Structure 1
Amino acid sequence: MYFNDSVMDDENRASFPESFLTGSAFKVIDGLPDIDTESHFASHPVGKGFPQSVASGDPTSSGMMLWTRVDPSLEAGVSDTEIDGEGFHWLKKPHDKNDSSSAEIIDQGKTVMFQVSTSPDFSFVDVSGFSPIWKDHDHVVRIDLDGMLHPNETYYYRFITKGGLMSKVGRCRTLPPEGSDCSAATIGYVSCQDYTSGYFNALAHLADEQLDFFLHLGDYVYEAAGDASYQTGMEARKITLPSGEDKAFTLEDYRHLYNVYRTDPDLQKLHEKHAMVATWDDHEFANDTYAPAVAPDDSLEPDPERRHSANSAWLEYMPSRVYVPSRSSSSDALKLYRSMTIGDLATLYVTDERAYRDAHPCGERELERYFTGGCENIHSPDRSMLGREQKEWFLGELKNSNSLWNIWGNQVQLTQLKFLGRYINLDAWDGFAHERQTIAQTVMNEGVQNFIALTGDFHSFEASYLQEDYSRDGYKFGVELMVGSVTSSNLNEMVQKNLNNLFDHTTPLPRNATLEIFRTFLPDALSESIVPTKFLFKELQNAIKIENPWIELFDSTSHGYALLELSKSRAVWTACAVDSIKENQAPKSVLLQCEIPNGEVAINVKEKNSFFG
């Protein structure tokens, strides 16, 4: 969470009690309460009172973050002032004297009871207790059970209110202990899910996969909702912000975005079935944002109050175990960067590529950020995307890794991407070439094995080689596996919409850059005698692959998700595409698939069902 001195004052920090930030505000009770759940809740439909259903996240070998939100019109909540600075206490042993204020809060119905079980019917409850409904934080519930569960185990969980409302049942799985023998793991991952652009069919299919957890690489929500240029004409998917503005600027606006997104049944299904590991990209705050809290499409002046609002809503709605530094910390940002280890098989490193990054290297106009010849500043050693502390952490984690596979949860394109000699996107790692080179040198010099970057943001499926330098004979040291968008417009849709004068700010490139590409590539495409769009895009995609030979697989015509299946012998990447995002429910198919053998920097293609190749 970005805070500078003008925002992170005592009053604002007090608005986030330590027990809320850590998820530690709960009491644990031994065994089930004296209640017949079957008869007591028979009169209430399961899920009533929990409009955003349930979610879990940040699994460890001994715990999990649990999350829900309670309808404020049906149940009360507890204010921050009612929870003391040390949290919400209750002793485990029934005969010990408990804190009377906690008992009063429970009796007043300001908490939920949670139950966690290895049995889907809750015939035996492993852990149960009470946790506050945080009235001052949009009535959410946050619980961190790290240290209370068993490793490598599937758990089921649910929430119950004093008034007898019961949530749906969520499912999650803890990880094997660090260093323990682990033969296989599967990670699903997604990015860029604009609610107004279409239905989340991809998420429903991802929910049906056998996963250890799923990774969300950012753009979980889009800040622009009311602007007609963001809308698709789908009445059922329109969003009106409380402020009436086209974009979110206030805490109420950002909360409303998460509130609406989380009512989507496909997104709910995914959260109910699997734990999530999340980071953010730009649209959780504003397009192409950089530090300190600058939204360049709106103003080049920092807006820390807006950034605080955006990040507060993210923290409230995400079941994530992240660190909020004290005022005495040398950093002023919510620390999303973290790692999690899956036995001896893999370590996932999740970074934050927005809160610390410098401004764009060549200027803030659209054609200085996109489809540009670049400038010397791209290679400046003084520029950083990760920031000093995060970069030192990341490089240190890589140097000390003992895992067979080293997986980077990376938001924006890592490999170089040029077209007609120009950089396509300096909002990605091409704008931070020196720091990218530093990471490459660390991986190579330290002998970091099986290095794979999982990437989102560009609304395209792509399998590419990471190289020491991006020449045709550059040394290969790893692999980048990019996932397409859930709903946000891909390059093919960008071409169609721009050539038909339809505005859509969810496209991966802005309109001015798209038009400039075609003025340069195929000038006749903008004339009266326009060539067929399908042919035009095929030519564009083929040209991109020719100019960037490190790209092995590329498709920007589809929406979907990706899977990374890890074993001791190989990693298998599968890109899955849905047939449509304009209809509620659509079949899926395998679009692309490749294999990376253990100990080799190789992309062995197994499936290539993209029309464009």
Structure 2
Amino acid sequence: MALTGRRNAPSEHAFSPHDDVLRTAAQHVARRRFLTVTAAAAMLAFTTNRPARGATAAPERAARIAADPFTLGVASGDPLPDSVLIWTRLAPEPFAEDGGLGQERVVVDWEVATDERFVRVEQRGAATAHPEYAHSLHIDVKGLKPDSRYYYRFRVGAWISPTGRTRTAPAAGSDTSGMRLAAVACQAYQDGYYTAHRHLAQEDVDVVFHLGDYLYEYAVDSAGGARRYTDRTLPDVFNRETTTLADYRLRYALYKSDPDLMAAHAQHPFLVTWDDHETENNYAGAAAENGSSPEQFLARRAAAYRAYWENQPLRAEQLPQGPDARLYRRLAWGSLAQFDILDTRQYRSDQAYKDQPHAPGTESDDPARTLTGAAQERWLLDGWRASRAVWNVMPQQVCFAQRKFDLTAPARVSMDAWDGYRASRDRVTAGAKDAGIDNWMILTGDVHVGYAFDLKDDFDDPRSRTLGTEFTCTSVASGGDGAQKPTNWDTYMRANPHMKHYDGRRGYLRVELDREKGQVDFRTVSGITKPGGTISTTASFVTEAGSPGLKPA
């Protein structure tokens, strides 16, 4: 089948020097030097579209690939009014360290159409998949029409990828009447099947927010953990914790080979952000969970961040420079909604009280402590002051609302969530009030349960002003099947009167926004440790524009 249509300007993919060299160097040079060398190499590569010094890639080729290279599917992300990012990664042998392509550079054709049969092709082009970026492709397709549906695909030789469906955002400032989104998080492969993604692929939503823990660094045994495979055996390369670039690339190959996850990506554009497990559990900035040196951990973080970008539908602006990447960003849906996507891992202060549940105290309440870093905090508050959107939505990782674990005083709270960074939370809350944000909605991942909160001016006074709402989207798989009422359900509901809902089962959020109200549905699956679970809406809440607070739908 020929790819036809109007040719866009050829697109190239950039790469930087070999990561083995950078990982070794990171242990012997200061962090600033590490970042400077890496940033300069990446900038040179994007400027020249030529291999960086020391690259050993073979000449480009267009075909001669004997097996399907599209084993990891396709994806799209970060829709703008005139563009969308489309992604794939070539891997005819997905569980091989090099994906089965070695050091080959491979020319890939792509096309975008307004119909699923590709009769009306809008744009087409060619790009090169480089081994230095695991043969991934990130095509920023520009010149598209606002608020429009598109279909896309890739071709290498005789191989044609699955068809992806995507869309652009409405024109900036347009009076968009409504939208529907979904939010997901936490998909530990070894904990069960991606039943939630299978149902999400069938939802009528405009975009999906992935709020972190797309990947888990923990070992996956030959049976796939709780999946208990009897018809396949996973190779030993997965039965170890991820620490190197090769490890993280292979783990993404395992996750992305799941047909339900591939289906969700093919049907909807994703807007992604990371949490901790994409690198290591509960890391904080340059501080590792188990006390390895900052130099060693930053080398690991550089590998994790690089593999994350390679495997997600992200633009060149999010390309890591060594262990740093600008992942927080802002998108809009006409004048209806502004989305401020946060990164609460990369810039945070280390957790107080050795990251154990603890009552707030002088260590956790130090005004200098931050969850976002100063630059991201200024960016967020400045964006709110400039916003003219009806809804200001803050997709992020860890619980913002106060969450007491005990009925006794002083109650313990999580040192890994905003409760462990109360001065940081107070500054953000003050910024929301100062900006006059009327319809503030926070979307959260991390906790493997579904919560619905009223955001209070004073969480210890239920009569205080309600400033907005927060919803946690439970997990796709992490934690196994879960339970409708976890053992601490009664304690949490009594200790936190602003908590209006708590459910421990798996699933996702579905959110419908219009200019008068927002409705949030908790979509819950019947189970994930066996394939084939069903989906249902187990709770729904409405928050009215101009009148923050939750009401049962």
Q: Taking structure 1 as the reference length, what is the TM-score of the superposition?
A: 0.76
- Which residue of structure 2 lines up, in the alignment, with residue 552 of structure 1? 500
Answer whether contact 1:140 1:316 (CA < 8 A) is retained. Answer: yes
Instruction: Tell me the residue number matched to 2:529.
Output: 582
Rounded to whole Å, the distance in 1 between the matches of 2:102 and 2:292 is: 37
CA distance in 1, matches of 2:242, 2:470: 32
Q: Which residue of 2 aligns with 1:356?
A: 347
Give CA deviations for 1:167-188 in whole Å, capped at 9, x if unaligned: 0100001010110110010111
- Name the amino acid aligned to 1:360: Q
Q: Determine the structure 2 residue equivalent to 1:69.
A: 89
What residue identity is the alignment partner of 2:288? A
Q: Of residues 521, 525, 544 in structure 2, which corresponds to 1:597?
A: 544
Map of 2:155 onto structure 1: 160
User: How much does 1:423 deviate?
Assistant: 2.4
Q: 1:132 aligns with which of 123, 128, 147?
A: 128
Alignment partners' CA distance in 2, 1:75 and 1:538: 45
CA drift at 1:394 = 0.6
Match runs of 1:457-468 below 5 Å: 457-468=446-457
Give the Cα–Cα distance (whole angstroms) in 1 for the partners of residues 542 and 172 of structure 2.
25
**Post-superposition offset of 1:240:** 5.3
Q: In the alignment, which residue of structure 1 is the partner of 2:4?
A: none
**Residues 1:491 and 1:211: Cα distance change in structure 2 (over 3 Å):** closer
C-alpha distance 462-11 of structure 1, shift in aligned 2 (>3 A): closer
Aligned to 1:180, the other structure's residue is in SS state coil
| Aligned equivalent of 1:87 | none
- Verify the 8 A CA contact 1:7 1:304 in the aligned structure 2: no
Aligned 8 A contact 1:349 1:407 in 2: yes
Q: For residues 240-287 of structure 1, give each alpha carbon's deviation from its aligned partner in whole angstroms, at most 9, with x where no partner exists.
A: 563x76311100000011111011000000010000000000000000
CA positional deviation for 1:75: 8.7
1:541 corresponds, among 449, 472, 489, to 489
1:396 maps to which residue?
A: 382
Length, aligned pairs only: 501
1:337 and 2:328 correspond: yes
CA contact (8 A) 1:419 1:547 kept: yes
| Structure 1: distance between partners of 2:432 and 2:136 | 41
Residue 377 of structure 1: CA displacement?
2.1
1:117-516 alignment runs, 5 A limit: 117-145=113-141, 147-161=142-156, 163-226=157-220, 231-232=225-226, 234-235=228-229, 242=237, 246-292=240-286, 294-297=287-290, 299=292, 301-302=294-295, 303-321=297-315, 323=317, 333-362=324-353, 364=354, 369-420=355-406, 421=409, 422-472=411-461, 473-489=463-479
For 1:118, the aligned partner's letter is T
CA pair 435-562 structure 1, distance change in 2 beyond 3 A: same
Measured at CA, do residues 462 and 324 of structure 1 come closer, stay the same or move farther in structure 2, by a change above 3 Å?
A: closer
CA contact (8 A) 1:360 1:431 kept: yes
The amino acid of 2:474's aligned partner reads G
| Residue identity opposite 1:283 in structure 2 | H
For residues 405 and 88 of structure 2, the distance between their equivalents in structure 1, rounded to whole angstroms, comes to 46
Give the distance between the partners of 2:378 and 2:315, measured in 1 at CA.
Answer: 20
- Which residue of structure 2 aligns with residue 8 of structure 1? 35
Give the conservation status (yes or no) of the 8 Å contact 2:283–2:345.
Answer: yes
- d(CA) in 2 for partners of 1:265 and 1:13? 38
- Distance change in 2, residues 1:297/1:227 (3 Å): farther
The corresponding residue for 1:496 is none
Distance between the aligned counterparts of 1:12 and 1:389, measured in 2? 19
Identity percentage over the alignment? 29
- The amino acid of 1:479's aligned partner reads T
Aligned CA distance change for structure 1 residues 221 and 349 (closer, same or farther; 3 Å) = same
Aligned-partner Cα distance in 2 for 1:11–1:401? 35
| 1:239/1:16 CA distance change after superposition, 3 Å | farther
Deviations 1:310-330 (A, max 9, x none): 001001011112635898xxx
CA positional deviation for 1:11: 5.6
Instruction: Give SS of 1:371's match.
Output: coil
**Are 1:573 and 2:485 matched, yes or no?**
no
In structure 2, runs of 5+ residues without a counterpart are: 1-18, 50-62, 94-98
* Largest Rg, 1 or 2: 1
Counterpart for residue 523 of structure 1 = none
CA distance in 1, matches of 2:310, 2:48: 9
CA drift at 1:541: 0.6
* Structure 1, gaps ≥5 residues long: 23-40, 80-104, 494-533, 607-613
Give, in whole Å, the separation in 1 of the partners of 2:459 and 2:205: 34
User: Shift in Å at residue 371 of structure 1?
Assistant: 2.8
SS of 1:7's equivalent in the other structure is: helix
C-alpha distance in structure 1 between counterparts of 2:171 and 2:234, whole Å: 43
Residue 52 of structure 1 and its aligned partner are, at CA, apart by 0.4
Pair 1:284–1:17, CA change in 2 (3 A): farther
SS of the residue corresponding to residue 323 of structure 1 reads helix
Deviations 1:92-115 (A, max 9, x none): xxxxxxxxxxxxx8xxxx211101
Tell me: CA distance 1:591–1:222, structure 2 relative to 1, closer, same or farther (3 Å). same
Maintained 8 Å contact 1:241/1:256: no
C-alpha deviations, 1:183-242, integer Å up to 9, x for none?
A: 0101111000001100000011111111111000000000112489x9437236986563
- Letter matched to residue 256 of structure 1: L
Alignment of 1:57 with 2:83, yes or no, is no
User: Which amino acid letter does the alignment assign opposite residue 152 of structure 1?
Assistant: D
1:13–1:264 Cα change, 3 Å: farther
Q: Is the 8 A contact 1:58 1:64 kept in 2?
A: yes
**Partner Cα separation in structure 2 for residue 569 and residue 21 of structure 1:** 50
State the shift of 1:49 in Å.
Answer: 2.2
**Structure 1 CA distance for aligned equivalents of residues 319 and 89 of structure 2:** 25
Question: What is the Cα deviation at residue 301 of structure 1?
Answer: 4.4
| Distance in 1 separating the partners of 2:190 and 2:100 | 30
Alignment check: 8 A CA contact 1:437 1:468 kept: no
Q: Following the alignment from structure 1 to structure 2, what is the Cα–Cα distance between the partners of residues 406 and 351?
A: 13
Q: 1:75 to 1:156 in 2, by over 3 A?
A: farther
| CA distance 1:409–1:199, change in 2 (3 Å) | same
Q: Distance in 1 between matches of 2:139 and 2:44?
A: 13
**Aligned-partner residue type, residue 449 of structure 1:** D
- Tell me, yes or no, if the aligned pair for 2:188 and 2:216 is still in contact at 8 Å: yes
Cα offset, 1:71, TM superposition: 2.7
The code of the aligned residue for 2:471 comes to L
SS at match of 1:418: coil
Alignment of 1:68-87 (within 5 A): 68-71=88-91
Secondary structure of 1:372 counterpart? coil
Shift of the 587–491 alpha-carbon distance from structure 1 to 2, 3 Å rule, reads closer
- Give the distance between the partners of 2:48 and 2:269, measured in 1 at CA: 19
Residue 16 of structure 2 corresponds to none
SS in 2 for 1:603: strand
Give 2:68's aligned residue. Answer: 48
Alpha-carbon distance in structure 2 between the residues aligned to 1:218 and 1:160: 30
Structure-2-length-normalised TM-score: 0.84
